[in-house]
Structure 1
Amino acid sequence: MKELKQGFSDNFLWGGATAANQIEGAYLEGGKGLSTSDFAAYKDPYAQGKVNNFKFDVSSAELNKYKENPDAFDFPKRRGIDFYHRYEEDIALFAEMGFKVFRLSISWARIFPTGLEDKPNEEGLAFYDKVFDECAKYGIEPLVTMSHYEMPITLTEKYNGWMSRELVPLFEKYARAILERYKNKVKYWITFNEMNMNLNSLYTGAGILEDLVDHKLQAAYQASHHQFVASALTVKAAKEIIPDVQIGCMINQIEAYAKTTKPEDQLQAVKSIQLNMFYPDVQARGEYPTYMVKYFADNQIKLDIKEQDEQILKEGTVDFVAISYYMSHVAEAREDAAELAGTFDSPIKNEHLELSQWDWPIDPMGLRISLIKLYDRYQKPLFVCENGLGARDTLTQDGKIHDDYRIDYLKKHIEQMKEAVKEGVDLMGYTPWGCIDLISCGTSQMTKRYGLIYVDQDDLGNGTLNRYRKDSFFWYKNVIASNGEDL
């Protein structure tokens, strides 16, 4: 019998998480091409009183309008927080906190500006060389996401993104280029960020212009299938290129609770969880689960699956399962239950949970429940690579940010992770989102801050970009130094 674990392992990977499109800026420097995220125009998130919308959808008409007259719009992800020029300063701050790992993504459009080139862009490759070398200087392991909500916009215009099978070899070419280039610098990889978010925003997750498809669900799952194949081919390539590689998949994990003890509500919770687990089921087990056969039939979904795909999926299973975790959901058997299942933001709120300033339920125990269920299901190492609190922070005149609310949030989630570890979960690491203030994914604003480091920039790009350590910075530094024992 195995011994009871008392806490996190000695090699636990503490760190923080970001994404290229939300921090880098320099959107046309170093030979970079335009990406889908470069067309996420700022829209006042308070205009209609709704501040928690997740997606940045773009129609074909909007894309044409943005390209014809870009100066008439504000695209915050084009400026990010200028990590492209300030990476040394930022990584030094991460090192000061004691990071063991830094989760970041590579911009596909920095390596292949249109996605169609035969050879990668050397300037783009060289930039990430410098970033990884800077991490190595402090003993920080990079955890690299290959595709994090962005891709060359040319692939959207030419193929309507991942709707087309043509993207599979193009992605494999990109993946092999970065695996070969960084094989001696990066051991930990994730293929696609939160692939299940295809169900929420086709443009965000798959570069698809929704107005050009007839059946949204059909498009979401066909795009997901193409990504599954591309991911499996990438896993296989990674194992050929890097002997000690650890390569994983990732979902946005949303635990679902039944609203009542009614069997109908309980069944709806099971169905909601299945739609979430479908993605790691394919990537960790190497095949489509049987429960999706009925789901596809019920929703008139017919996937174009090539004869060789089943073998590709079997041969390309991941080493670990990574999750982002922000909230849990409530499932109820009601008329719109099928529409709500698998979505990011649900109108059904849990009366037992408090809400964040953006109306997201705060549920630390839901993280523990999720980790136990995931580990029971896959028996593979897990990685919590996103978790955090979006909140409005105030910079005082003496350059302080007192964010006790963030410390409280992170503390309670780490406590529940620790309990999951005691219960036998093999947990690799924890990288809260985002370790430094960055452009919000869904609303493209700066006001919704997650960082342990404050960046002086407002929603419209005004500010010095100076970095300030928040109270949570010093708290997390102590957490890491004590390996999670001193919270």
Structure 2
Amino acid sequence: MSFPSDFLWGGATAANQCEGAYLEDGKGLSTADVMTLGSHTQKRKTTKTVESQYIYPSHQAVDHFHHYQEDIALFAEMGFTVYRLSINWTRIFPQGDEEKPNEKGLAFYDRIFDELEKYHIEPLITISHFETPLGLQKYGSWENRKVVDFYMRYAKVLLERYQGRVKYWLTFNEINCMSTMPWVSAGIASDNEQIRMSAAYHQFLASAKVVQLAHQIDKNNKVGMMYCGHFAYPHSPHPSDMIATTDFMHQMLFYCDVQCRGYYPNYKIKQFERDGIVLPMQDGDEEILKHGTVDFLSYSYYFTHVTGMKTKGIYKGLNGIDTGYQNPYLPVSEWGWSIDPQGLRYSLNLLYDRYQLPLMIVENGLGAVDVLENGKVHDPYRIDYLRQHLLELEKAITLDGIPVMGYTMWGPIDIVAASTGEMKKRYGFIYVDVDDYGQGSMKRYKKDSFYWYQRVIQTHGESLKEE
């Protein structure tokens, strides 16, 4: 077979984008809970508190909190062997700084794991997926080293309670988003680079400590990092475009360098010196980073960039695609994201050549407007997108020898889009009858892609060659 016998097939979600029930069983507010509905042309707003004049998509989402049994049964019907999900930090520690966890919140995830075990689906848990407790704002969120201790208390509860039930862990979702959307990533509402880099430093420390703790609690634990997959091609072979692309990628890949190698790369240290950035390093921190490197590298892959001389600094915005150039050789999605299946193979080679760690694709999918007619959704565009990407993934494994652990498509059931807060930007194999304003029956429907992915898993990828 082209895919390894132990290759993990599944899908991925985030708690704030699917669960809803935003105050149920004592849950507190997170950064996601004060982000409003946006659109392709209008950015989401962030409010300090919940205000009645706005729509907050995470408050209801697709109500997975009350539909989890039905949803997981559908995942099992597709044949999932892995399901990536996040624990909502504010279900466990509502304000983030409590001494003791909220038992009702933990009980919810107990039930989730019961369902996954019933169907022999391996959980892959993201400890922090864009759900920083709003209560940590009084400390300055991740800018403050105290938050490392609060995070460690939270992570320790999870690692101990779910010992033997969860083997695969991710410390932070898309940790490099600190440089592009720091509020979403860490509750940081500032463009100040010193503040952002201090917050990133504290997340690196927290991640390294979790790696060490996870290995102490259970030697079978595997802890990975999660990179937001930004990959760039130079605009031309002009040497200045090549150097500009290298500079662009350094802004992202240094996050992987720290978590995979255990130290800051020279190019980043030199940049800090030029910009007057001082890391809040304390005695013993270098050893923590050194001994807390991850076991594997996971990442999201949706698109590629084009960069060059006119790319100015780091890009801004949730979509992160305004680099000054468009790729004339690639089509784009309805939301303007380039569609580049070959770029997936390129990215796998780039990351493995750089780190020599096992890799995992934990997000990959197509956001599109789906139409429900007579209980059916015909989505050949999604099937084509995923098939082309999986064929390139197969090439990376068979032709290039890249060790890929698994693939969790984003997201197997329609969920709130993180970039815009919309429901109409749908990714799923499963259609959920709810619109941008929370109106609908919440009934679940299987799309054509549901049966296609079911066949892919049943044949361990061999059906990809049949079409």
Same fold (TM over 0.5): yes
Tell me which of 143, 150, 153 is aligned to 1:163.
143
1:377: how far off?
A: 1.1
Distance 1:163 1:147 in 2: 16
Distance 1:468 1:296 in 2: 51
Distance 1:332 1:181 in 2: 49
- Provide the residue aligned with 1:456 in structure 2: 433
Show structure 2 runs of 5+ residues with no match.
Answer: none
Report the aligned-residue RMSD. Answer: 1.4
Distance 2:45 2:404 in 1: 34
1:312: how far off?
A: 0.4
- Provide the residue aligned with 1:127 in structure 2: 108
| AA matched with 1:95 | A
Tell me which of 279, 287, 293 is aligned to 2:263.
287
1:80: how far off?
A: 1.3
SS in 2 for 1:380: coil
Please say if 1:266 is aligned against 2:242.
yes
> Residues 358-437 of structure 1: matches in 2 within 5 Å?
358-396=335-373, 398-422=374-398, 423-437=400-414
Q: Is the 8 A contact 2:212 2:291 kept in 1?
A: yes
Deviations along 1:171-215, whole A, 9 cap, x unmatched? 0000000110111211110000001011111110010122xxxx5
Distance 2:316 2:45 in 1: 20
Q: Is the 8 A contact 1:250 1:322 kept in 2?
A: yes
Q: Is the 8 A contact 2:37 2:45 kept in 1?
A: no
Please say if 1:441 is aligned against 2:418.
yes
Please say if 1:252 is aligned against 2:232.
no
Q: Is the 8 A contact 1:108 1:152 kept in 2?
A: yes
Please say if 1:299 is aligned against 2:275.
yes
- Provide the residue aligned with 1:3 in structure 2: none
- Provide the residue aligned with 2:201 in structure 1: 225
Change (3 A) 1:22 1:341: closer
Deviations along 1:9-55, whole A, 9 cap, x unmatched? 01100000000000001111111111111101123x25xxx26x6xx
Deviations along 1:338-389, whole A, 9 cap, x unmatched? 2339982224210000010000011111110010111111111000000000
Q: Is the 8 A contact 2:84 2:126 kept in 1?
A: yes
Q: Is the 8 A contact 2:180 2:316 kept in 1?
A: no
Q: Is the 8 A contact 1:197 1:344 kept in 2?
A: no
> Residues 302-321 of structure 1: matches in 2 within 5 Å?
302-321=278-297
| AA matched with 1:249 | M
1:300: how far off?
A: 3.0
Please say if 1:99 is aligned against 2:62.
no
Distance 2:331 2:194 in 1: 35
Please say if 1:242 is aligned against 2:242.
no
Please say if 1:201 is aligned against 2:185.
no
- Provide the residue aligned with 2:124 in structure 1: 143
Residue identity (%)? 49
| AA matched with 1:131 | I
| AA matched with 1:13 | L
Please say if 1:19 is aligned against 2:14.
yes
Deviations along 1:231-273, whole A, 9 cap, x unmatched? 0001111011122111100111121100001000011111222
1:298: how far off?
A: 3.2
| AA matched with 1:191 | T
Distance 1:341 1:460 in 2: 27
1:216: how far off?
A: 2.0
Distance 2:37 2:68 in 1: 25
TM-score, normalisation: structure 1: 0.92
Distance 1:186 1:465 in 2: 29
Deviations along 1:316-354, whole A, 9 cap, x unmatched? 1110000000110111112x4223399822242100000
Q: Report the more deviating stretch, 272-281 or 416-425.
A: 272-281
| AA matched with 1:165 | R
Q: Is the 8 A contact 1:111 1:124 kept in 2?
A: yes
Please say if 1:40 is aligned against 2:15.
no
Please say if 1:325 is aligned against 2:306.
no
Deviations along 1:112-148, whole A, 9 cap, x unmatched? 1111111111101110010011000000000000000
Distance 1:234 1:276 in 2: 22
Please say if 1:71 is aligned against 2:47.
no
Moved over 4 A (4+): none
SS in 2 for 1:393: coil
- Provide the residue aligned with 1:112 in structure 2: 93
Distance 1:87 1:361 in 2: 33
1:159: how far off?
A: 1.4
Q: Is the 8 A contact 2:21 2:59 kept in 1?
A: yes
Distance 2:236 2:316 in 1: 16
| AA matched with 2:345 | R
Distance 1:249 1:486 in 2: 31
The size of the alignment, in residue pairs, is 461
